[in-house]
């Protein structure tokens, strides 16, 4: 490709609405342009990178035995109602109506469609295992699109769905995808690692996310350097000790605490009740029902865990009015000892199990109770791990201190089980002649997000530093004079033609611009290798090879081609 015939609108300055580095570089390097919030046009160079990543994913999916298909982006609502996600995923669904006022869904993912396919086509255990995948546009009505391609209303996703006749088979399918994902992200040049993850509205019971460490990541990851434990903060647990039992001092006496409505205030004089001796009582409304959640005063509720453990579809903190209606007091004086209606469930965090000599609200504004024993004074409905892990806590597996890091989620693998196959009737006949639901797994990669994650991780002060595997072009040939009859241009044309003939992805910067402009642009766009041809070095019969981010290397013109091939071979 000749630069002058192409379309690479680079920018010296980044548009004001780009906040993070990778977003700015996407725009400055002329890879994408924004149409509106959360919607982007891929320009030629950006599209090339996208295709590179897609094809790399295809290679690895095919290698892992998955089979490519393409499903409709426009989907009927009835299968979404059947799976139950018309309601549970309602917030993210884009809905469209046709001329007869019938409602359709713009696909945010395709479990319903693939399971419908399986229901019709997979009749025998002999047809499994099978894994279908596609690379396609997905639509999600994000609460807040942000960071360019990181969280967009429309994005490219690779989604795969495995069908097995047994649980063991499903685990093997899961493992194949897990391994494939590791290969994919490694090949993209990304530092990445899998973490244990919550399953959210997708459902299922076993899941890993593939994370790319980045300060701008939207996820918080807990990990242990000693034993390799790693989990999303939404899922992470630690080996932190339970609350120490004490000699109990009394039997839950009420005492006045006028104006005290926070854990912190109660921990100060004159009350001086340390936060770790307080029970924090939260009222949530889960699927329209009030629920009490008990957490130790110095801990934080992990809402994701709460949702996962209770199976609630939606939950929110109760309003002060709802708190008063349920318990007779406003937030700040709430507790689970007195005046709790029998219909209200009390969920307690495991860390409080067996705790005594605790202080909590009395369900009377301005009063608390001291010397409370959980076992004796509170009718806990269920115990769960509900707290949020913090950095430095001992690892549950090896007791070494846990660390925390922000990361970008680029892939997610789920073991789904039979949730969708049962609801959408994907049953098969097993060897014993019995009808059973397919055991499913699903596996997603955010392709467009991965592209931006690479930029977020691979850059320097001058611009993007593409890993060869995903670079829009491998080589940029840069003649420093473009007059047709010049020796410089003739050599540039020759090298360009030879590389093209050899199948190397090469761009010839034939623009009549000053060298500085070309160098800046080449650095900004981030081609892995720049081959510069100028009068000075050519006078010595030399051309210049400059790996992006590396040092200049002068080579004899006649050796240039071999050197370029050697460079590319070493990088791939």
- The pair of structure tokens assigned to 17 is 């609405």
By the rule CB under 7 A, 10 interacts with RNA: yes
401 contacts: CB under 8 Å, gap ≥ 6: 391, 392, 393, 394, 395
145 binding RNA? (CB under 7 A): yes
Judged by CB under 7 A, the residue of 195, 323, 378, 491 near RNA is 323
Q: Which H, E and C letters describe 142-203, residue by residue?
A: CCCCECCCCECCEEEEEEEEEEECCHHHHHHHHHHHHHHHHHHHHHCCCCCEEEECCCHHHC
Stretch that binds RNA, among 5-13, 221-229, 405-413, 426-434 (CB under 7 A): 5-13
Q: Are strands 32-36 and 39-42 parallel, antiparallel or unpaired?
A: antiparallel
Quick one: which segment of 10-18, 54-62, 186-194, 369-377 binds RNA (CB under 7 A)?
10-18
The nearer residue to RNA, 129 or 145, going by C-beta atoms, is 145
Window contacting RNA (CB under 7 A); options: 133-141, 187-195, 317-325, 377-385: 317-325
Q: Which is nearer to RNA, 186 or 300 (CB)?
A: 300
Q: Name the one range near RNA by CB under 7 A: 56-64, 466-474, 490-498, 519-527.
A: 519-527
Which residues within the stretch 61-80 sit at the binding site for RNA (CB under 7 A)?
none
* DSSP string over 400-456: SBPEEEEEEEEEEEEEEETHHHHHTT-EEE-TTS-EEEPEEEEEEEEHHHHHHHHHH
CA dihedral 215, 387, 413, 70 (to 10 degrees): -80
Question: If DSSP states are collapsed to H, E and C, what string results for 210-263?
Answer: EEEECCCCCEEEEECCCCCCEEECCCCCCCCCCCCCCCCCCCCCEEECCCCCCH
Closer residue to RNA in complex, CB, 131/281? 281
Under the binding rule (CB under 7 A), the answer on residue 91 touching RNA is no
Quote the CA–CA distance of 162 and 93 in Å, as a whole number.
24
3-state helix vs strand vs coil in the chain, percent to 5: 30, 30, 40
Q: Residue 116 CB, nearest distance to RNA (Å)?
A: 32
Site string for RNA, 204-243 (x = CB under 7 A): ----------------------------------------
Stretch that binds RNA, among 138-146, 371-379, 442-450, 500-508 (CB under 7 A): 138-146
Calculate helix-pair angle for 44-63, 447-457, nearest 10 degrees: 110
Among the listed ranges 201-209, 447-455, 466-474, 511-519, the one in contact with RNA (CB under 7 A) is: 511-519
Say whether residue 536 binds RNA (CB under 7 A).
yes
Of 16 and 570, which has the nearer Cβ to RNA?
A: 16
In the range 450-479, which residues lie near RNA by CB under 7 A?
462
505 binds RNA (CB under 7 A): no
Say whether residue 318 binds RNA (CB under 7 A).
Answer: yes
Judged by CB under 7 A, the residue of 280, 296, 368, 419 near RNA is: 280
Site for RNA in 334-393 (CB under 7 A): 334, 361
Q: What angle do CA 482, 484, 488 make, to 5 degrees?
A: 55
Is 99 exposed, middle or buried (CB count within 10 Å of its CB: 0-12, 13-18, 19+)? Answer: exposed
Single out the residue of 38, 169, 203, 472 in contact with RNA (rule: CB under 7 A): 38
Closer CB to RNA, residue 100 or residue 272? 272
Q: Is residue 347 within 8 Å of residue 293, measured between CB atoms?
A: yes
Residues that bind RNA (CB under 7 A): 10-17, 19-20, 34, 36-38, 143-147, 261-263, 280-284, 300-301, 303, 316-318, 320, 323, 331-334, 361, 462, 480-481, 514-517, 519-524, 532-538, 544, 546, 552
């Amino acid at each position: 490709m000749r630069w002058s015939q192409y379309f690479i609108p680079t920018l010296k300055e980044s548009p004001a609405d780009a906040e993070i580095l990778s977003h700015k570089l996407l725009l400055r390097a002329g890879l994408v342009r924004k149409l509106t919030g959360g919607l982007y046009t891929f320009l030629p160079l950006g599209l090339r990178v996208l295709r590179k990543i897609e094809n790399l994913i295809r290679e690895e999916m095919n290698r892992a035995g998955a089979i490519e298909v393409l499903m409709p982006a426009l989907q009927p609502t009835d299968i979404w109602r059947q799976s139950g996600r018309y309601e549970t995923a309602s917030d993210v669904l884009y809905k469209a109506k046709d001329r007869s006022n019938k409602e359709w869904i713009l696909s945010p993912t395709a479990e319903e469609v693939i399971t419908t396919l399986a229901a019709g086509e997979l009749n025998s255990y002999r047809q499994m295992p099978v894994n279908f995948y596609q690379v396609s546009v997905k639509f999600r009505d994000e609460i807040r699109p942000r960071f360019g391609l990181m969280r967009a209303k429309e994005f490219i996703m690779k989604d795969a769905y495995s069908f097995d006749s047994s649980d063991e088979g499903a685990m093997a399918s899961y493992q194949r995808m897990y391994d494939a994902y590791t290969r994919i992200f490694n090949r993209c040049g990304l530092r990445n690692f899998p973490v244990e993850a919550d399953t959210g509205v997708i459902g299922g019971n076993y899941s890993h996310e593939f994370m790319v460490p980045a300060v701008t990541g939207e996820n918080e990851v807990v990990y242990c350097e000693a034993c390799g434990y790693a989990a999303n903060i939404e899922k992470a647990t630690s080996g932190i000790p339970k609350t120490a039992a004490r000699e109990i001092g009394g039997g839950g006496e009420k005492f006045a605490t006028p104006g005290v409505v926070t854990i912190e205030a109660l921990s100060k004089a004159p009350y001086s009740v340390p936060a770790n001796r307080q029970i924090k009582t939260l009222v949530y409304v889960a699927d329209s029902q009030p629920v009490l959640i008990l957490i130790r005063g110095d801990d934080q509720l992990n809402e994701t865990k709460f949702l996962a453990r209770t199976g609630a579809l939606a939950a929110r903190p109760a309003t002060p009015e709802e708190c008063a209606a349920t318990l007779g007091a406003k937030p700040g004086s709430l507790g689970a000892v007195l005046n709790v209606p029998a219909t209200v469930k009390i969920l307690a965090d495991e860390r409080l199990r067996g705790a005594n000599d605790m202080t909590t609200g009395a369900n009377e504004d301005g009063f608390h109770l001291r010397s409370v024993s959980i076992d004796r004074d509170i009718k806990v409905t269920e115990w769960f791990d509900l707290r949020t892990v913090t950095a430095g806590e001992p690892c549950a597996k090896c007791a070494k201190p846990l660390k925390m890091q922000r990361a970008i989620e680029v892939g997610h693998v789920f073991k789904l089980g039979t949730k969708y196959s049962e609801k959408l009737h994907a049953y098969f006949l097993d060897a014993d002649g019995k009808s059973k639901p397919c055991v499913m797994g699903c596996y997603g990669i955010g392709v467009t997000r991965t592209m931006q994650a690479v930029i977020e991780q691979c850059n320097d002060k001058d611009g993007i530093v593409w890993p060869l595997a995903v670079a829009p072009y491998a080589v940029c040939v840069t003649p420093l004079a473009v007059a047709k009859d010049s020796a410089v241009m003739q050599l540039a044309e020759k090298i360009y033609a030879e590389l093209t003939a050899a199948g190397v992805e090469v761009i010839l910067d034939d623009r009549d611009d000053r060298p500085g402009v070309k160098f800046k642009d080449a650095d900004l766009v981030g081609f892995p290798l720049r081959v510069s041809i100028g009068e000075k070095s050519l006078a010595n019969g030399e051309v210049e090879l400059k790996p992006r981010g590396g040092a200049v290397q002068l080579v004899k013109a006649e050796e240039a081609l071999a050197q370029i091939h050697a460079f590319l071979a070493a990088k791939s």
